Structure 1
Amino acid sequence: MKHSIFFPRRFGALVLALACTGGVGAAQAQEGYPSHPITIVVGYSAGGANDILARILASKMSDILKQSVIVENKPGISSIVGATYVARAKPDGYTLLMGASGPISFNPALYKSLPYSPDKDLAPISQVGIFPLVLLTQAANKQTATLEGLKAYSKAHPDKSNYSASSASFQLMTELFKKQTGTQFVHIPYKGSMNSINAVGTGDATMTLVDIGPATVGVKGGRVRALAVTSARRAPYLPDVPTMKELGIDMDVQLWSGLFAPAGTPPAVIQKLARTVHDAIQAPDVRKRIAALSITPTSDTPAEFAALIAKEIPMWKRVAREAGVKPN
């Protein structure tokens, strides 16, 4: 004799509800985000521009989200340590990366292998600041007082033409400049931007492409001359200096810093963070503090940021390959 088991309707509804608990819980978790402190990891030492930028943003994000946002420094190996830490973190929106062009767009061109994939392991949220580089030559050298003069000097004195660069990012930017101008300059490595600028001021280096913050100090000191900036528009901090494009050089590139989450972070969390960054960047006090770093405050959508990175990674790989820069 067969027996049939009867389940009341209300029991069936309960089973259905229990089956959906996971999805409802996830949705509620996203709606309640953030429920505890967020950490922004910086892959550089404290006190640098990227670190200061992260702390400015974190302070305003705390105000907007009504939750603590902490900055934690994890410096080492071209920001590889910090980027890897975030790439391997739980994708819940509570561990973020203040990433710069270096670890995202340049490292793939400079390292044979990385413990993280910039375009697969990290989810772009928004840019935070952008800054062009400025081309400097020695103020006392009249032969290199103009871009055309610098190009002519390089062709006339290939054995004396060189450039100082304190990072791989600046090196690759200069290699792109060489390609676009048909010039030849030998790379001389230096420890920092000010060291690179001082080398040009003393005549130990013919030129350098550096970030605008320290460059303005050198220009005001009268030892170096600013010839051009690499952005599409003139930099507000050096309004009298023309762009490369104004001088006939097809070079529109800038360095940037932006916020990332581990890949797999819920889209709703990514979008909330992107809106938060946008609102933070629009605040007058934030814009003023970022501008004081000679960085232009900016924000964009996750899709726009991802498109920029997708364009830059193969471009810098090509520049490195054509310049003969061997990956480490």
Structure 2
Amino acid sequence: MTAARFTLRTARTAGAALAMVLACAPAARAEGQPAYPTRPLTLIVPYAPGGTTDVVARQFAQSLQGALGQSVVVENKPGVAGTMGALALRQAAPDGYTLSLMPVTVFRQPFIQKTAFDPARDFTYLSRITGYIFGVVVRADSPWRGWADFLRDARARPGGISYGSPGQYSSPHVTMLELAAKEKLDVNHIPFKGDADCLNALMGNHVQLCAAGSAAGALVDAGKLRWLNLWTAQRSPRWPDAPTLRELGYDMVSSSPYGVAGPKGMAPQVVAVLQDALRRATEDPRYLATLKRMDQEPMYLDSAAYTRFALQQIAEEKALVERLGIRAD
């Protein structure tokens, strides 16, 4: 079953209206209202502590705190394929004090199963900030020296190999589903609450490989793990020996851009203040240094552009779910 119904036409109209309001809105305060913000904000990270998203989000929260002049508290809410933040926003007051990171799974999950939120109508998209570097990683002592070795073994042992991901129907999981479908592989998927848990399971040999983000990088650099491939458009300067999916014969790139959103119905003045602060946070050298360390690229979009991106992504995720046949009826 799908999520609560929505129309892209209605959402596009809402996005256009938001852009017009922001263009005319004062950036300080409404008549008779105290300046925003007057108390700490909460930024929900819908993944477990210690993973790629958490590392980036905590520095971003510090940068946003400097831009706003008010504390920004990170709250981890892992589970349900990274949609716990969206669920929290659905219940939050639209006062600008509760924000959440919005992974692409928020746009995908309503087409997989019934959800309590509608991504085209229930949120105020404030700013896209970055995207991930993903890939397949194995232990350094794995007998698979490359992707072809894994494919050969997986075909010889149907159902005998288990891989982990940071969540059921997360972008790494869905990309692995696409790869398995192309290669006609029968492999077992073990979902975790985030990269950190997945990588711990890999180090303990509870799974044989992980579809993970750049949180694996430190272990790769330490010689404990090895990339079989990366899902970037070009090879990573940090790991130049890891081939891309395109080099391996797949016309695929997976970066899963994400941003920051709030509840629907936020006051234009609050949105304007946040949009300005979020832009300045993405320009903070400390945040940019963290992105570089995690091998992520700046992908800033303002509120109006991020709203358009979200609507386009919703349509693309609907098509992807239908193509893979993963809707839970």
Do both proteins adopt the same fold according to a TM-score greater than 0.5, normalized to the shorter chain? yes
Q: Does 1:105 align with 2:84?
A: no
Q: Does 1:212 align with 2:214?
A: yes
CA distance in 1, matches of 2:160, 2:234: 32
CA distance in 2, matches of 1:60, 1:196: 28
Q: Alignment RMSD, CA only?
A: 3.7
Unaligned runs of 5+ in 1: 1-23
Residue deviations 1:153-180 (CA, integer Å, cap 9, x gap): 433443434423341213222112223x
**Which aligned pairs between 1:194-209 and structure 2 lie closer than 5 A?**
196-197=198-199, 205-209=207-211
CA distance in 2, matches of 1:225, 1:130: 22
Maintained 8 Å contact 1:172/1:319: no
Q: 1:156 to 1:310 in 2, by over 3 A?
A: farther
Query: Residue in 1 aligned with 2:89?
Result: 86
Q: Does 1:262 align with 2:270?
A: no
CA distance in 2, matches of 1:295, 1:99: 16
Shift of 1:117: 1.6
Report 1 or 2 for greater relative contact order, CA contacts < 8 Å, sequence distance ≥ 6.
2
Maintained 8 Å contact 2:89/2:100: yes
Q: How many aligned positions are there?
A: 300
Query: Residue in 1 aligned with 2:286?
Result: 285
Unaligned runs of 5+ in 2: 1-24
Q: Give the SS at the match of 2:301.
A: coil
Q: Give the SS at the match of 1:327.
A: coil
Q: Give the SS at the match of 2:266.
A: coil
Shift of 1:327: 3.4
CA distance in 2, matches of 1:34, 1:232: 40
Q: Does 1:61 align with 2:40?
A: no
Query: Residue in 2 aligned with 1:154?
Result: 154
Query: Residue in 2 aligned with 1:300?
Result: 301
Question: Is 195-204 or 144-153 further displaced after alignment?
Answer: 195-204
**Which one-letter code corresponds to 1:279 in the other structure?**
R
CA distance in 1, matches of 2:158, 2:239: 30
Maintained 8 Å contact 2:48/2:54: yes
Maintained 8 Å contact 1:125/1:259: yes
Which has the larger share of helix?
1
TM-score (norm 1): 0.74
**Which one-letter code corresponds to 1:210 in the other structure?**
A
Query: Residue in 2 aligned with 1:29?
Result: 30
Maintained 8 Å contact 1:163/1:185: no
Shift of 1:41: 3.1
Residue deviations 1:126-159 (CA, integer Å, cap 9, x gap): 12232121112454555x4233343344334434
Q: 1:194 to 1:185 in 2, by over 3 A?
A: farther
Maintained 8 Å contact 1:58/1:71: yes
Maintained 8 Å contact 1:171/1:187: no
> Structure 1 vs Structure 2: percent identity of aligned residues?
21
Query: Residue in 1 aligned with 2:167?
Result: 167
In terms of Rg, which structure is larger? Answer: 1
TM-score (norm 2): 0.73
Residue deviations 1:19-66 (CA, integer Å, cap 9, x gap): xxxxx999951897525235233144774444443442233233333x
CA distance in 1, matches of 2:141, 2:49: 33
Shift of 1:301: 2.3
Q: 1:204 to 1:91 in 2, by over 3 A?
A: closer
Maintained 8 Å contact 2:59/2:286: no
Q: Give the SS at the match of 1:252.
A: coil
Shift of 1:266: 4.1
